Every structure is written in structure tokens, then in C-alpha cells.
Structure 1
Amino acid sequence: MKYKINGFLYYDATDATLSINDEGTSDTQLSITANALLYFLLQQPGVITRDEIMEKVWDDNGLTSSNGNLNQYLSLLRKSFRHYQIDNFIITVSRGRLEINKDITVEVVDDNHMHPLFICEEEERVTPEEPAEKPNKTTYSEQTDAQEQRWMIGSAILFVAALALLWTAIISERSINIVQLNPVSAEICELFSNEKIINAEMGESYLNSFNAVREKLGISCNKERRFVFYYSDKFQNKGLGRTFMAQCAKNENNPYAYCDNYFYYSWK
């Protein structure tokens, strides 16, 4: 699903990106939770309650919902849109409910006619049809032949479409990149990173930076949790830069049963 916002900003729900036509210079990569929240809001025409948002985005996906988490990701999305000079993209209405600003134009640009925007337009264009006359025997025979031809054409189209989807799936499967998580610490705080720890200095810096972020957020360690941590400014010239941390509950079947994610554009 791909959207065009205010005629110049593109949101790709599949890639979780906000972009303009500048060869990727100003692209913004959204986190998994922020992408799920934005996609859900765009699918809901009109006002929606906070409880419904938390249920659909967090609870239904096995995550722990809270007003704090919702406020954090709403703030993150608003900040992302302000980066493109779009203010008040998500507004709060009476009783704390939320909606997309009606002054902002949102277009679906990938021709997916199952989207609610297209469904509403189709319903408005539908007019009542006059009841068909009861066909006689000759007319009934002609309609049956025409219907059979339509079924044959439709079946052929579906078969070609299925082959195209199969070919697309094969190509996509070959291009999937699996992210490998590397252990940083195996103590009480079981810590992993998507980057390879190349030496002891990097490992110590990673652990110290992780503990600083964790303690500031008031998150404690225990044997039932795993943590994933990343920060972009390895030399910490101006803080940690883009920072991501996930605390995940684990069980005997799944080491990442569910996770709470924290993302910051510039951690000082």
C-alpha cells in the first residue's frame, strides 16, 4: 500500500518509509510500531478512540499497550511529518480521540481498490438498477452461453495472475535479507545487537551506552527478558544519534514472544 500526502510526500506501508523525489536524500525509515500505527490511522476515515488504536496496533499483535507508548509514537509520527513541513498531521479532538487532519490530502497511489477510500467512492456511484425482465427460453439459452464464455475468460485471467504471483514470490524470496542478532552480553541483561561487535572496546561501549539508555528509561533487567539495542553514532560526538531499544519477553518456545520498542532520532 502506497500513499501520496499533500501531493509531494510518499508513504510506503510495505517498506515503512516516508520519502520525496530527491533520490533518497530525505527518506525517513519508520520503526515497526510507528509504521503499524500510521498505516492503521490512514485506514480509518474519521475520528477514532485511543482504546481502539491500542487494541488494534498493540494488543492484537501481542504487544503491551499503554497511553505512554501511544503518546510516544504519536509524537514520533508528528515529528517525522514536521520534518517535511507538514504540521498537525494527527490531531486530537474531544475526549482525547484522534483523527488525521482533514486539511491534509491523502491519496492512494498503488491502485489497490480494496482500500476503504475506494470502497466509499464505489458505494457513492452505485445507483439502483431496474429489475430485469423474466427471460424466455430463447433469451435464457443465449445468457447461459455468454456466462460460460465469461467464466472461461475469468478462469484464464485468474490462472495467469496466479502464475505472476508465484513468480513474484520466488523472486522476493531470493531477495530477502535475514537480520542476524549478535550477542553483546549474556549476564542478567541479555543484550543483542544487529551489528557485529568487532573488538572489546566496541563491546564495552555498546554495553555502557545500553545501560545509560535503559536506566534513564527506568527499565530493569531480569532473566525473563531479552534486549536488542542499536545506536548510530559510535564515537558519540553528539550523543548516541539514532537510538533503538527493544525489551522482549521470552519463553521456552519463543525468545521474542512480545516486545516493547523505543526509538529516538537523536539521543543526547
Structure 2
Amino acid sequence: MKYRINGHVLFDADSGSLSLMVFSDDPLAVSNPTKRLLLLLIINHGEPVSREVIFRKVWDDYGMVSSNNNLNQCVSKLRRILKTLGIEEEVIITVPKVGFMLSRDIAIECVDELPATSAMAEENIIATSLPDRLPAVEPCVAPPCNNRRPWRRWAAIGVALVLLIALAVGMTIYFTGYGRNQERFIGATDRCKVFMSTSGQAFTSQGTFNRDILSYANTKPGDCNADEYILVVRSNQVHSYISGISRLFLLKCKILREYRLEICYGLQDEQLH
């Protein structure tokens, strides 16, 4: 198939050559990717063609390496050839963030048989379009494929694994209560149930210690109602003036079910009511 561009440039899609209509015996040969690129733009005349489609139709489907560098080189060489053949208008337009298109202002005609050209027409075309000498045009050669750096992919995989592990640890801590204070039932006095609040990791069942706590709590006045209990809080956060010991706080707690909360106060405060 042959195409006439702007009335005086002939593009032979079969042989992959560009020439002036009056000098079709001396065409400028282009590379196969360049030929396929120009044909693709002509077929989609006036419509943008995305880079992805160009890569597939011009390089990938033919087992060749596609890249932005290859595409930009071919477009640049096509523009230079068409300008050399006398087309001053912008033929191939860059469509930002999409790809390229053949300008709607460029006339494209299918040519089955070349019409005869008069001598006068030849002189006019020579005088207006043909430079003194057509410069040599280098074919569009795809550069070697750039080696991708595999370590970047492995680094991304490593980061993803670290994040997954951190997420799993965080979820384990959240759902198992690791490091949070927990209340454990240690026994009951004559009047109240007694619970101890301490870290799940620090809590140890010590029979003698628990019995002493229960005995001490039993000396405190006041009975517990159904929604009350004694809470023993063991804390190392407040440092006493004697090193190496911790403190215990004895509280009486009342459950307010209608408000879904508990109110705790010191056992000695009970004497003030």
C-alpha cells in the first residue's frame, strides 16, 4: 500500500521508503520499526495513539525491545525526514501523557497507481520542495535492552515482609493483651471478692502472698454489695524512697452497669462516708 502525504511525499508501506512523488526512483529507506510507526499513525490519522499500543504494534509483536527511548528516536527521525522532503508543518504531534498522533492538518491519500507528472509540475516541485542535496538518514536502530536491577525488586519484597511481620506482632499484642494489666481473682474475704491487677507477664501465683493480701483486706471495714469487689493494684511505676520494693493500692470498686463503667476508691475513704 502506498500513501501520499500532503500531495507530494510518497510513503511506500510495503518497502518502507519515503520519497518525493517526482523522484520515486530514489526513495529514502527507513527501518522496519519506523515504517510500522508511520503506518500506525496514518491508519489512526487525527486520533491519538497511546505509547502502550505503539510499543505492542511496532516492537513487542515482532519480538523486539520497546522503550520510550526507541520510540522518541523514531519519532524524531520521522519528523526530520518529512521536513527534509519539504513538509514544514508539524506532522507528528506529541499528545502529553498519552502518546502521538498524525496531525489532522496533514492530507493523507491512498495511492493505487501513480499519476503521470508533467515536466512543469516537476520543475515547480523541484524549485519549491527539493533541497540541493538530500542528507543521509540513519535508520532507527533499537538500542540494547537496559539491564534492570534485580536488587530493587528483592528490596521491595524485603520491606513488604518486614511490614507484614510488624503487623502480625502488633495484632498479636492487641488481641492477646501482652504487656497490659489484667485482673486475676486471688480469693475472697468474709465480705468481698478480691482481684489483683498486674501485668500478665509479671503475675505469678504465690499462695502465701495472696493469703496475706486477703488477710489484710479482711481487716478493712465494710461489706461488699453484689456489684462491688476489692481490687489490689500492684505498681512499680511509683518509686518509693526505699529501693527494690513495689507498692500495693487497695481499692473498692463498684460496677455501674447502666453507664458501663466502674468507680474505684481507696478502702480508707470508705470511713469518710
Q: Using structure 2 for the length normalisation, give the TM-score.
A: 0.40
